[in-house]
Structure 1
Amino acid sequence: MPLSVPDSAPVRPRLVLASNSPRRRQLLTELGVAYEVRLREVDESFPPHLVRAEVAEYLAAHKASAYASDLAPDELVLTADTIVCLDDDVLNKPAGAAEAVQMLQRLQGRFHDVYTGVCLLAGDGRKVVFSDQTRVHFRALTLSEIEHYVAHYKPFDKAGAYGAQDWIGMVAVTHLEGSYFNVMGLPVHRVWEELEKLGAVSI
């Protein structure tokens, strides 16, 4: 009787991080996930009728679409977009120091919501889009504190003009509901869960 040959083990997808964010790279590295970085310029505008989580998920999926045509069958691209919402106003990356100061003046003394949308697009056509929400409270800040932060940390690449891991996060954030890492730019608990489902990670 011929010996049966076991089916070959499924190939683990190779993760491609489509982000220039040092914070997302740091979080994936600390998560113990192997990845390579691949960058492309993608328009980050969104339809005006979208609100809150819809915006973050739309932008993440839109970024992933730029990689769809040339992903290898065993590749899996991860794209993400983080937005800050004050009520229904989306505060994106500030254009300069003056706008950064204005944004932080609006945020100080109030709660706001941070949404990170994530898209995982596999070369075999599988696609997952999700988002995570964190509510953040800033204490009341003086103009001098805000100007000090903007001048020294230049948060022009950050939604809402701040990074929770920066000085301002230490002195201003009084209360946080949800994932701190989501505010940094990647809800790693959800990312790990979805990567496991896609067979990209395991313990």
Structure 2
Amino acid sequence: MSKLILASASPRRLELLAQIGIVPDQVAPADIDETPAADESPRRLALRLAEEKARAVAKSNGGAFVLAADTVVACGTRALGKASDEREARKFLTLLSGRRHRVYGGVCLIAPDGTERSRVIETQVKFRTLGTEDLNRYLSHDEWKGKAGAYAIQGHAATFIKAISGSYSNVVGLSLCEVDGLLRGLGYPVKEV
């Protein structure tokens, strides 16, 4: 049986896969430049980054299934990446406050024979209006660090969410419905749980 390699360092993606009984044989984060291209839409950015990560890892791991993903939070046409510091995290959260935004999850799976399948999953999230005290309390913890848009829906930021339309697991970091379909579609032996 071919092994499965997760091309991501995200512990959240490992936890999500474990929820559906999938434990990768190896974790091999891809080292790629994640800078958006000029005029690149957030949707296209999520897809391109997932594909580039998968291809980079598959290049040195022939004969394996390689799964990669990327999450981009978008407010309008602006992509909100991982905040570099608390000031930028406050800026991102203030921008999202009281608004609806989109979370794009790019997923790419490369099979041992080189067949590649990619998807972009879109989830809409509506934040309640955040006050200064909300922001101060949230930013006093490290939960925002390393998260697209500077928040984790599965953590304390769950109190910010008024509504969600689409895949919850996509906002956490990996759409399980899409991943399960891609794995099954390319012949990876998904165990029934």
Fold equivalence (TM over 0.5): yes
Measured after TM superposition, the shift of residue 157 of structure 1 is: 0.3
Partner of 1:62: 52
In 2, distance between residues paired with 1:69 and 1:173? 40
Residue in structure 2 matching 1:50, options 40, 43, 64: 40
Measured after TM superposition, the shift of residue 39 of structure 1 is: 2.4
Residue in structure 2 matching 1:120, options 96, 99, 109: 109
Partner of 2:128: 139
Preserved contact between residue 34 and residue 49 of structure 2 (Cα < 8 Å): yes
Measured after TM superposition, the shift of residue 68 of structure 1 is: 2.9
Q: Which has the larger radius of gyration?
A: 1
Q: Which amino acid aligns with 1:77?
A: V
Partner of 2:8: 19
In 2, distance between residues paired with 1:90 and 1:34? 31
User: TM (normalized to structure 2)?
Assistant: 0.94
Preserved contact between residue 57 and residue 117 of structure 1 (Cα < 8 Å): yes
In 2, distance between residues paired with 1:157 and 1:175? 23
* Equivalent residues, number: 190
Q: Which amino acid aligns with 2:34?
A: E
In 2, distance between residues paired with 1:182 and 1:65? 21
In 2, distance between residues paired with 1:196 and 1:165? 27
1:176 corresponds to 2:136: no
Unaligned runs of 5+ in 2: none
Residue in structure 2 matching 1:199, options 179, 182, 187: 187
Q: Which amino acid aligns with 2:164?
A: L
Q: Which amino acid aligns with 2:185?
A: K
In 1, distance between residues paired with 2:143 and 2:156? 12
Measured after TM superposition, the shift of residue 153 of structure 1 is: 3.0
CA RMSD of aligned residues (A): 1.2
Residue in structure 2 matching 1:38, options 23, 28, 34: 28
Q: Which amino acid aligns with 2:85?
A: G
In 1, distance between residues paired with 2:87 and 2:32? 25
Q: Tell me, what secondary structure is at the counterpart of 1:24?
A: helix
Q: Tell me, what secondary structure is at the counterpart of 1:112?
A: strand
Partner of 2:97: 108
Residue in structure 2 matching 1:84, options 36, 50, 73: 73
Q: Which sits farther off after the overlay, 63-72 or 122-131?
A: 63-72
Q: Which amino acid aligns with 1:44?
A: E
Unaligned runs of 5+ in 1: 1-11
Partner of 2:176: 188
User: TM (normalized to structure 1)?
Assistant: 0.89
In 1, distance between residues paired with 2:143 and 2:165? 26
State, as a whole percentage, how many aligned pairs show the same letter: 36
User: Residue by residue, what CA displacement relative to the aligned partner does 1:71-101 show, whole Å, maximum 9, x if unpaired?
Assistant: 232x111111001000000000001000001
User: Residue by residue, what CA displacement relative to the aligned partner does 1:115-161 show, whole Å, maximum 9, x if unpaired?
Assistant: 01011112321101111000000000111111211111341200000
